[in-house]
Amino acid sequence: MRKRLRKILLAFLIIFAVLCAGFLIYASDYYHASDTALQYLAKSGEGVTVTCKNHQMVFTPDHVSSGMIFYPGGKVAYEAYAPLLYRCAQKGILCIMPEMPLNLAIFGINRADGLKKAYPEITDWYLAGHSLGGSMAAVYLKNHAADYKGLILLASYSTEDLRDTGLSVLSVYGSEDHVLNLVSYAKARKNLPAALTEKVIPGGCHSYFGMYGIQSGDGIPSISNNDQLDTAAQLISSWTTDLHRQTD
């Protein structure tokens, strides 16, 4: 009997070890930030100061109008989103982006905890994310909606029911996005509050919300990476500005 139990335990341990090894191999194969994206980490200027410490990046405008915490997409190095957040900071939005464990926001859902405390002067806060990052931001807001004014989803959707949270939501995706499951996106729309604004970037794709190349399975964009980033930043800025005016 004991020999049988030992064999079962050994088999279990072997299966567990194989699964762990397989997951580590999966997680280690991720999209790296492009050289251009990395240049934004040392780009302080043009009204923006960039600081990188404690596994997070902060983009601070000279004149702050609102704050945004950003969750990066799954299996994408968080530095790849520096170009987008730099552009948002140029428009007055203080942007904080925490690094996610193994580049997967599902393991860092609560990374937003405590990040706002250093900026008590900012009253309008938004939680944002790309792809998996957006979905995990929605999960976080399920229990923290009172602390935020809105949710910004980039090529993403919420699996959590946020209808009664009082949040405003901005949802943006590219017309050539072949990674975002539009069937699931449409079904998940029922989870969002009535204060929903949806925008489609003509010619945009899934990958171009960051700078990490073209993601496997994505569509062929008809606009440049910079053009999509410019458009996304403008949409975010205009939406947050309009919300501020409505409640001012």
The verdict on pTM exceeding 0.85 is yes
- 214 three-state secondary structure: coil
- What's the rounded Cα separation, in Å, for the pair 155 and 152? 10
Question: Domain residues of the chain, as ranges?
Answer: 1-30, 32-247
Question: Residue 46: its pLDDT value, please?
Answer: 83
Q: Which stretches within 40-81 are classed as H helix?
A: none
Q: What are 170-218's pLDDT values in tens digits?
A: 999 999 999 999 999 999 999 999 999 999 999 999 999 999 999 999 9
Cα–Cα distances in Å, from 139 out to 38, 44, 98, 152, 203?
29, 32, 16, 13, 29
Look up residue 211 and give its amino acid. Answer: M
Question: Residue 244: its pLDDT value, please?
Answer: 83
Residues in the chain: 248
Question: Residue 18: its pLDDT value, please?
Answer: 45
Question: Residue 19: its pLDDT value, please?
Answer: 43
Which CATH superfamily hosts domain 32-247? Alpha/Beta hydrolase fold, catalytic domain (3.40.50.1820)
Positions of the chain with pLDDT under 70: 1-29, 248
**DSSP secondary-structure letter at 106?**
G
Cα–Cα distances in Å, from 60 out to 43, 170, 210?
12, 22, 19
CB 134 within 8 A of CB 157: yes
* Buried-state track 131-165, b at ≥16 Cβ within 10 A, e below 16: bbbbbbbbbbbeeebeebbbbbbbbbbbebebeeb
Compute the chain's Rg from CA coordinates: 19
CB 112 within 8 A of CB 140: yes
Q: Which two tokens stand for residue 233?
A: 């930043």
